[in-house]
Amino acid sequence: MSVAWQFYISTVLIYLGVDVIACWGLNLQFGVAGLVNFAYIIFQAAGAYTAAVLTLGPATRGGFQQYIGGAHLPFPVPILVAGVVGGLLAAVVGGLAIRRLRSDYEAMVMLVVSLIATSVATNQSGLVNGSNGLALVPKPLAAMVNLSPIGYQWLFVGITAVICLCVYWLVHIVTSSPLGRTLRAVRDNEQAAAALGKNVAALRMLAFVLGGVLAGISGAILVEFISAWSPGSWLYPETFVYFTAVIVGGSGNNLGVMVGALLVPVAFLEATRFVPQFGPPGLIDALQWIIVGVLALVFLWFWPRGVIPERRRRFPRPAEGEADGAPRRVPLFLRAGR
Amino acid sequence: MNTLLPAIGFGLVTASILAVAGVGFTLQFGVTNILNLAYGDIMTAAAFVAYLVTSAGVSVWLALVAGAAFGGVFSVVLNRALYTPFVRHGTRLFGMIIVTISVSLIVQNGLQAIFGASFFSLNMPRPAPIHVAGMVFTTVQFAIIGIAVAAMLLVHLLLRYTKLGKAMRATASDPELARNCGIATDRVIDLAWALSGTLCGLAGVILVMNVTAFTDTTGSQFLIPVVAVAVLGGIGQPYGAMLGALIIGIASEVAAAVISPDYKNVVAFVILVIVLLARPQGILSEIATRKEVAA
């Protein structure tokens, strides 16, 4: 395989890893807990920013980029801290914004949160270096391992894959445990879950924070790979791409969401960056967005549950008369699995 | 004082545009309960229609009519061809958000694909300045305020004194009860989209009359202030939207003059978030906010 092809494939694989982790995080929030977070991208951006400044080292006075809290931390630490920051930010935003709002109002609030964040990040140059963002973030381990550029690409693919596996293990545990079942109960019928003594507010918050952590981690991997960060690349339409991916793949199903991440952000957005340019500049970008929009519409119409739908969970009914001696006659309309 | 008065003048112009757009938005949202996030992009599309008309050498007044007509027709078709089928198909609140954002992206990028990512301006006579009580307006801005006042008066007369207006208000407050009372809610919904779309198109054209240049994102950048106006006034409350437009229009221009022009929109954002979290029914509304989409 030629070096160019290896570069291409390894780059797409890394993007895939980033998008899969981000989609799993969004799936925890939206697919499993039913929270409509249209500001998802800012948690990814916050994680990415954290990882960037923790790798860049302290900001020098009068240097060409200004940022806060710079440090030189060894490789896995910036990514972990990025997850923590994503989670903390989610706790703050969630504490303010997750109310018992209609889901379209909730989406609206989150959309506006995303716009405010972009506006502040762009206009307050002391905070995140304004719209210029950060550049020249050192690549992790690059100074320690002595690899050819292409060897380093594959090393990075390996790192991303390992993080993906860890994250999958985490989301699998969450979604298949009693906790995941309770979260789905809250999503499907909030009142019923509350009536069974579940703390609905705390459960939704937990899902929101976990999603924020994963968003932060995915952003951190991305920034360590492309070594640059700017507010302009984390706008709200990017959140829409992740939502489309989750819906296309199968909201609520971790494997489905992985397929969605492969199809939407990777196949339609990343891979098409490499097709030959045609038409005036900007035409391909415009067409990509049109395709993503059409894709969302088509899936909502034909397959609203996605390529790999969430498994309908069935629980065995207790056998007749088994419970308290007396035969239990459950009215037909109350029986499970209907 | 010397920066405040002109800022209030600008605020009045912005408020006029916001009022036209906000009343259109709130009428449609109130009647159908679909949060149409493509509204800003329909404004842009109407502006491009006006651009084509003025580029052909026709007067800007006809362009205004063309833009408004386009907005009305496009909205009705959009609702009939896409939104209503999705609602009948069982798509609900969140799903409809995804549908309207998709439409928004498709319209916006469609315009970019057709016209190119560039700056455009309407071909119209050079405006002359007019001084009124320490505020400076151009003739165009004066015309914008006049158009907005006229449009608001017409909406007021329509809602207050016609049967259609009554039917629309009835459908907004309780679609099922309205249907049971013999109101043809389907027709009312169509007319609501037509009226809302017309105001949307009108707002799109006066929005770009007021700026030196516009792009394919001009309307969508204006969307959040419009939604803020509608939510602040209370969804489905045209008079609330007019009041909201005045508040947000003047507040954002004053903030632009006093703090920094960068924060012009942030005022509207912050007002929107606070209202949604603290009083989602708006300042003038008693309608419940947990309604479902009207099918």
pLDDT of residue B283: 57
> Over 60: is that where the pLDDT of A331 sits?
no
Q: Which two tokens mark A26? A: 């969004």
Question: Are the C-beta atoms of residues B283 and B244 closer than 8 Å to each other?
Answer: yes
Residue B131, strand partner residues:
B136
pLDDT of residue A325: 47
> Is B82 in Cβ contact with A240 (below 8 Å)?
no
In B, minimum Cα distance to A116 occurs at B266
Q: A292 — contact with chain B (CB < 8 Å)?
A: yes
Q: A188 — contact with chain B (CB < 8 Å)?
A: no
Q: A120 — contact with chain B (CB < 8 Å)?
A: yes
- Give residue-wise pLDDT tens across range A250-267: 888 999 999 999 988 887
Q: Which CATH number fits domain B4-278: 2.40.160, 1.10.3470, 1.20.1260, 1.10.150?
A: 1.10.3470
Distance CA B100, CA A164 (A): 33
Q: Chain A to chain B, count of Cβ pairs less than 8 Å apart?
A: 123
> Is B95 in Cβ contact with A300 (below 8 Å)?
yes
In B, minimum Cα distance to A278 occurs at B113
Q: Which residue has the tokens 């982790």?
A: A21
pLDDT of residue A337: 41
Q: How far is B274 from chain A (nearest CA, A)?
A: 9
In B, minimum Cα distance to A30 occurs at B94
> Over 70: is that where the pLDDT of A76 sits?
yes
Higher pLDDT, B52 or A232: B52
- Most confident of the ranges A9-13, A115-119, A212-216, A312-316: A212-216
In A, minimum Cα distance to B89 occurs at A301
Sequence spans of domains, chain A: 3-235
| A27 CB-near residues (< 8 Å, 6+ apart) | A171, A246, A251, A252, A253, A254, A257
pLDDT of residue B2: 67
Of the candidates B44, B51, B81, the one whose C-alpha atom is nearest the C-alpha of residue B66 is B51
Tell me how far CA of residue A50 lies from CA of A216, A232, A327, in angstroms.
9, 16, 61
> Is A290 in Cβ contact with B110 (below 8 Å)?
yes
| B285 CB-near residues (< 8 Å, 6+ apart) | B233, B234, B235, B236, B237, B240
Question: Other CB atoms closer than 10 Å to residue B288's CB: what's the count?
Answer: 9
pLDDT of residue A149: 81
Give B268-283 as a DSSP string.
HHHHHHHHHHH-TT-S
Residue B278: how many CA atoms within 13 Å on its side-chain side?
Answer: 8
pLDDT of residue B293: 54
Q: Could you give the ipTM of this predicted complex?
A: 0.84
Question: Other CB atoms closer than 10 Å to residue B190's CB: what's the count?
Answer: 16
Query: Where does residue B95 fall: left (phi above 0), alpha (psi -120 to 50 degrees), or beta otherwise?
Result: alpha
- Choose among B93, B97, B273: nearest Cβ to A113: B273
Sequence spans of domains, chain B: 4-278
Q: How far is B66 from chain A (nearest CA, A)?
A: 26
- Which residues 195-254 in chain B show a CB within 8 A of chain A? 224, 227, 231
Helix locations, A177-199, DSSP H: 178-188, 190-195
Chain A CB contacts of B112 under 8 Å are: 282-283, 286
Of the candidates B230, B186, B167, the one whose C-alpha atom is nearest the C-alpha of residue B84 is B186
> Please, what is the end-to-end C-alpha distance for chain B in angstroms?
52
Q: What is the mean pLDDT of residues A30-42?
A: 90
Average pLDDT, chain A: 83
> Is B108 in Cβ contact with A289 (below 8 Å)?
yes
Distance CA B203, CA A4 (A): 51
Chain A CB contacts of B289 under 8 Å are: 102, 105
> Is B276 in Cβ contact with A283 (below 8 Å)?
no
> Over 60: is that where the pLDDT of A322 sits?
no
> Is B110 in Cβ contact with A116 (below 8 Å)?
no
Q: What is the mean pLDDT of residues A233-247?
A: 89
> Is B280 in Cβ contact with A289 (below 8 Å)?
no
Question: Are the C-beta atoms of residues B251 and B270 closer than 8 Å to each other?
Answer: no
> Is B116 in Cβ contact with A287 (below 8 Å)?
no
Q: What is the mean pLDDT of residues A202-215?
A: 94
Distance CA B27, CA B196 (A): 6
pLDDT of residue A18: 93
Q: Which residue has the tokens 């900007």?
A: A282
Of the candidates A15, A76, A71, the one whose C-alpha atom is nearest the C-alpha of residue A44 is A15
pLDDT band at A70 (very low <50, low <70, confident <90, very high): confident
pLDDT of residue A21: 95
- Give residue-wise pLDDT tens across range A95-153: 887 766 677 778 888 888 888 888 888 877 666 777 777 777 777 777 677 778 888 88
Helix locations, A124-231, DSSP H: 125-128, 149-176, 178-188, 190-195, 200-226
- Choose among B101, B104, B109: nearest Cβ to A286: B109
Distance CA B113, CA B6 (A): 38
Of the candidates A231, A38, A228, the one whose C-alpha atom is nearest the C-alpha of residue A119 is A231
The rounded radius of gyration (Å) of the Cα atoms in chain A is: 22
The 8-class DSSP code of residue A229 comes to B
> Is B269 in Cβ contact with A116 (below 8 Å)?
yes
Higher pLDDT, A316 or B27: B27
Q: How far is A105 from chain B (nearest CA, A)?
A: 7
pLDDT of residue B282: 61
Question: Other CB atoms closer than 10 Å to residue A317's CB: what's the count?
Answer: 12
Ordered per-residue pLDDT tens for chain B, 295 residues:
567 778 888 889 999 999 999 999 998 888 888 889 999 999 999 999 999 999 988 888 899 999 999 999 999 999 999 999 999 888 877 888 899 999 999 999 999 999 888 888 887 777 777 777 767 778 888 889 999 999 999 999 998 889 888 888 888 878 888 888 888 888 889 999 999 999 999 999 999 998 888 998 888 888 989 988 988 888 778 888 999 999 999 998 888 888 877 777 888 888 888 887 777 666 554 444 445 554 4
Of chain A, the percentage scoring pLDDT greater than 90 comes to 33
Chain B CB contacts of A37 under 8 Å are: none
Q: Which two tokens mark B49? A: 């229609």
